[in-house]
Chains A and B, each alone.
Chain A
């Protein structure tokens, strides 16, 4: 075990995968020489060479489309797109080809590949750099979508994504990259895709969150604990397929649920949580399921970004509303 932040844990996961499997290659803009805009691939080209860690032209569709061809040929490419807001040119490849090849070819061809994309705001970045449009990807058939909240989860999930037989969109919360450190196990281990985790136990209410919002959910739980409200926090970890069983079990246990997502409100991940809970746990509910989300606006720039991203205060207020009913 050693203490790592999420960027280091992801770097460690990529090194483990590159070391273990010659079919793994990293491909993307600036992933080699500079080690990526967030330094997640730092030092890997120096260690594994430029045929394993491939710097490409600036071309998101090309990066994902070429990785798709490599995957069909038998490689295990890990493509990097620098920001979620830059992934839209590649979204056509994902929705039109990557997610469909197994279905279209009736299993003859598959595309076991990972598309790593930093997402979410909170660091005051430029326009297009703070997008939380993960629902677009979760809405796309044929891919899996994961979003870790902590360094240890990030490493295990990334190794699981690389080893998955199907394409995985791997969303990395920008705000968490360097914000926290924790003990990360050495070497190879897997955090299963499709499994949510109860990261804090509580009997009075449940907060379901993912990515950077898990930390804020835990802070909200701390604040509420001061008032003797015991909040359970579920880290979703996988946005598609969602682990409904874990969410529902917690909803049944506490009877009060708040779904938190930085993404836009309409047709978002939080909406999906609300739907799952009301479909499967309605008669256990003591209050309507609440949502705390980003708004249906373009993500504001630095000076007003804090009004968009769910704050600890908004999460606490939502939990209190469920407690009033």
Chain B
């Protein structure tokens, strides 16, 4: 099974582009911004200003290409490695930073943004996307849901339950597996014996598409088709994006213990940004000045988000009790009082 490809690694079109060069440039700028955020986050983690961080460098095309197909009000349910996708769908950098700084306000996107807080447990969230799209259908709307997960998540039982429910009830769900080759230290062939993850969709009765996940245009084309299908009530699609995480699983992981650095070099040559830059250069839509300007604007905006997140006064000690229910229960009110009396030294 050959993966869908529209832009080859040298930046040449080998298929029909789903958008014009100007739109490609806009998406390229989003990729540049996302990478700026990703590198900034890793740097902040090293400075002790963020907790453990899961970098996504190398996966920008998969996340941005897929989410570019969504309508603004569609639902997105993603993981800790999908900050680029979440940001594309309206989550703010400030909220993303807050989450990694250990502040629950990081779980709140702006009002009207249908992006759930990132799922930390592996796999359980895929069925939530099915429920969201199902709920929308029952409410009479046409909002659909997209969910991101890694190749490791396909080993979890919930992958089956989510795919099975979506297939049985033809729920408008777009499953995007970013197969980045590794589930922490375990390679893709330790997750499944099937030749591709995409082919698993066949067993659930809906299409699975294998896509070059480092090809922005192929990801967008595949996701558009899946989103249109979902919105038309024709059911789910599984997209397997073949990609690679250039960095570690998280900032606490040392990939040198389990993978060959020659692979990293090889995948770096297939960098999704490099590929689009080559295409834009050939199309006369790129200049070094312009990319630098985008990088600088992104860096400034991201720095502002860091300042805002770090400047936000932490919640007081009793706030956790307010967040559990619409109104705190009597038991929680009492426990809050006990905590606060302790604070007062009683």
Contact = CB atoms under 8 A, between A and B. Distances in A.
A66 B127 CA distance: 6
Contacts of A240: 331
Interface in A102-132: 102-110
A18 to B, nearest CB: 13
B158 A62 contact: yes
Contacts of A288: none
A62 B162 contact: yes
A244 B333 CA distance: 12
A105 B108 contact: yes
Interface stretch (B3-11, B187-195, B322-330): B322-330
A285 interface: no
B27 to A, nearest CB: 27
A160 to B, nearest CB: 13
B131 interface: yes
Interface stretch (B53-61, B133-141, B234-242, B250-258): B133-141
Interface stretch (A53-61, A183-191, A296-304): A53-61
Given A23-B139, A74-B139, A62 B325 contact: no
A25 B161 CA distance: 20
B128 A69 contact: yes
B324 A142 contact: yes
B135 A74 contact: yes
B332 interface: yes
Given A73-B136, A102-B324, A62 B161 contact: yes
B65 interface: no
A69 B132 contact: yes
Contacts of A104: 104, 107, 117
B11 to A, nearest CB: 39
How many A residues are at the interface, by size bracket? 35 or more
A106 B161 contact: no
Interface in A74-99: 74-75, 77, 89, 92-93, 96-97
Given A65-B131, A65-B161, A72-B116, A92 B121 contact: yes
A148 B196 CA distance: 50
A141 interface: yes
A62 B165 contact: yes
A29 to B, nearest CB: 12
A23 B137 CA distance: 11
B226 interface: no
A106 B135 contact: no
Main secondary structure of the interface of A (DSSP, over half): mixed
A73 B168 CA distance: 20
B318 to A, nearest CB: 14
Contacts of A109: 116-117
B22 to A, nearest CB: 34
Interface residues of B, number: 47
Contact of A65 (B127, B143, B329, B332): B127
B340 interface: no
A165 interface: yes
A13 interface: no
A141 B164 CA distance: 29
Contacts of A262: none
Given A69-B135, A142-B324, A166-B326, A105 B117 contact: yes
B129 interface: yes
Contacts of A105: 104, 107-108, 116-117
Nearest to B108: A108
A106 B108 contact: yes
A74 B139 CA distance: 8
Contacts of A92: 121, 124
B40 interface: no
Contacts of A65: 124, 127-128, 130-131, 158, 161-162
B128 A97 contact: yes
A67 interface: yes
Interface centre among A68, A105, A110, A142 (most CB of B within 10 A): A105
Contacts of B145: 69
Contacts of B105: 106
Contacts of B161: 57, 59, 61-62, 65
29 contacts: A54-B169, A61-B127, A61-B157, A68-B131, A69-B127, A69-B135, A70-B134, A70-B138, A72-B131, A73-B134, A74-B139, A75-B138, A75-B139, A77-B135, A92-B124, A97-B121, A97-B128, A101-B116, A106-B105, A107-B108, A107-B323, A108-B111, A141-B324, A142-B325, A144-B325, A166-B326, A241-B330, A242-B331, A245-B330
Given A107-B323, A194-B330, 7 more contacts: A57-B164, A62-B165, A66-B128, A103-B323, A142-B325, A165-B327, A166-B326
Interface of A: 23, 25, 51, 54, 56-57, 59, 61-62, 65-75, 77, 89, 92-93, 96-97, 101-110, 141-142, 144, 165-166, 194, 240-245
